[in-house]
């Protein structure tokens, strides 16, 4: 059996050089020169899949091999698809831009579905829950509920969907007579967690799955708080209006759910399954 096609690109921190990524996303709107491959083209040359290099527990590299929730699904996809799967592993920075311009056929990563992203991308059925929570230092007794976040400094990733939804937390605080404090933006979440541990920020906002992983790895340092957003979901992304590819990928996801494999991998990597995920999701933000 031939070795699977896996290409590693130079690794940087997740969402590094965000301004450049935003500029890249604008390319298809301005140039319109590159278009997404049709299913007929994909069947001939293979499906080009982009995954992230370091976004635990969805995708990461261990001992030189890709692993995590999405990477295990890719191994199943190789068996399901009647064509080759060509995987490229790279930093987040270039992934969605590469999909929107046709460089990659699909981003198999936990891309949160947002209104802005849906202008240039389409998304598969959600793969998990991505509701936003806060995490604090375990020894910080000044925070025990959302109202205690009043005027405190929050860390969040620059250019992320989580940054865009911080006003929801601001509204929650205003109802308690408080307000959102200083917002510090980071190029990667590991940097934000480091500053939290050092006391440079008071709390960090990220998705429930990412924070559960963080707290499980460092239970003596961090403690998880409550939800600070409405419902949010991650999914795989393809170029806008590539309906045939979305249908193919949704068919694969549906089969994984029917066999119980999807729930099995969710429990393995997230600590729980999400049986009530919507088949499709229209974001408010």
For residue range 59-86, list pLDDT tens digits in order.
999 999 999 999 999 999 999 999 999 9
Fold of the 132-227 domain: D-Maltodextrin-Binding Protein; domain 2 (3.40.190)
- Residues 237, 52: Cα–Cα separation, whole Å: 13
Residue-averaged pLDDT of the chain: 89
Task: Classify the phi-psi angles of 205: left when phi > 0, otherwise alpha if psi is within -120 to 50, otherwise beta.
Answer: beta
What pLDDT shows up at residue 9?
Answer: 58
Per-residue pLDDT tens over the stretch 1-28:
556 777 765 544 443 333 334 434 444 4
Tell me what pLDDT residue 91 has: 84
pLDDT > 90: percent of the chain: 77
Q: What pLDDT score does 8 carry?
A: 63
Listed by start position, the domains of the chain span 5-129+233-270, 132-227
Superfamily of domain 5-129+233-270: Periplasmic binding protein-like II (3.40.190.10)
**85-90 and 5-8 as β-strands: parallel, antiparallel, unpaired?**
parallel
Which strands form 203-207's sheet, in the order they lie side by side? 183-186, 154-157, 203-207, 132-137, 222-227
State the Cα–Cα distance between residues 131 and 163, nearest whole angstrom: 13
pLDDT in tens, 221-232: 999 999 999 899
Task: Evaluate if residue 146 carries a pLDDT over 80.
Answer: yes
Predicted pLDDT at 202: 98
**pLDDT confidence band for 30 (50 / 70 / 90):** very low
93-107, 152-166, 183-197, 235-249: range with highest mean pLDDT: 235-249
């Amino acid at each position: 059996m031939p070795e699977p096609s896996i290409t590693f690109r130079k690794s940087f921190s997740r969402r590094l050089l965000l301004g450049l990524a935003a500029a890249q996303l604008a390319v298809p709107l301005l140039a319109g020169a590159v278009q997404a491959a049709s299913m007929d083209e994909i069947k001939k040359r293979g499906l080009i899949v982009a995954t992230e290099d370091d976004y635990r527990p969805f995708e990461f590299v261990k001992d030189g091999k890709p692993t995590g929730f999405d990477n295990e699904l890719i191994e199943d996809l190789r068996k399901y698809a009647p064509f080759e799967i060509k995987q490229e592993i790279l930093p987040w920075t270039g992934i969605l831009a590469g999909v929107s311009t046709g460089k990659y056929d699909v981003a198999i990563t936990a891309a949160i579905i947002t209104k802005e992203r849906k202008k240039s991308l389409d998304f598969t059925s959600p793969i998990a829950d991505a509701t936003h929570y806060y995490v604090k230092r375990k020894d910080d007794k000044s925070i025990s509920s959302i109202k205690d976040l009043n005027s405190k400094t929050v860390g969040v990733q620059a250019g992320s969907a989580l940054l865009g939804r911080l006003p929801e937390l601001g509204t929650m605080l205003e109802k308690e007579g408080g307000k959102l404090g200083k917002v510090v933006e980071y190029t990667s979440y590991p940097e934000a967690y480091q500053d939290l541990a050092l006391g440079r920020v008071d709390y960090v906002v990220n998705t429930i799955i990412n924070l559960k992983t963080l707290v499980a790895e460092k239970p003596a340092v961090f403690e998880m708080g409550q939800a600070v957003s409405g419902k949010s979901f991650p999914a795989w992304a393809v170029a806008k209006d590539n309906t045939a590819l979305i249908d193919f990928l949704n068919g694969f996801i549906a089969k994984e759910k029917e066999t119980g494999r999807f729930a099995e991998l969710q429990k393995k990597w997230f600590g729980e399954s999400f049986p009530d995920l919507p088949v499709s999701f229209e974001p408010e933000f």
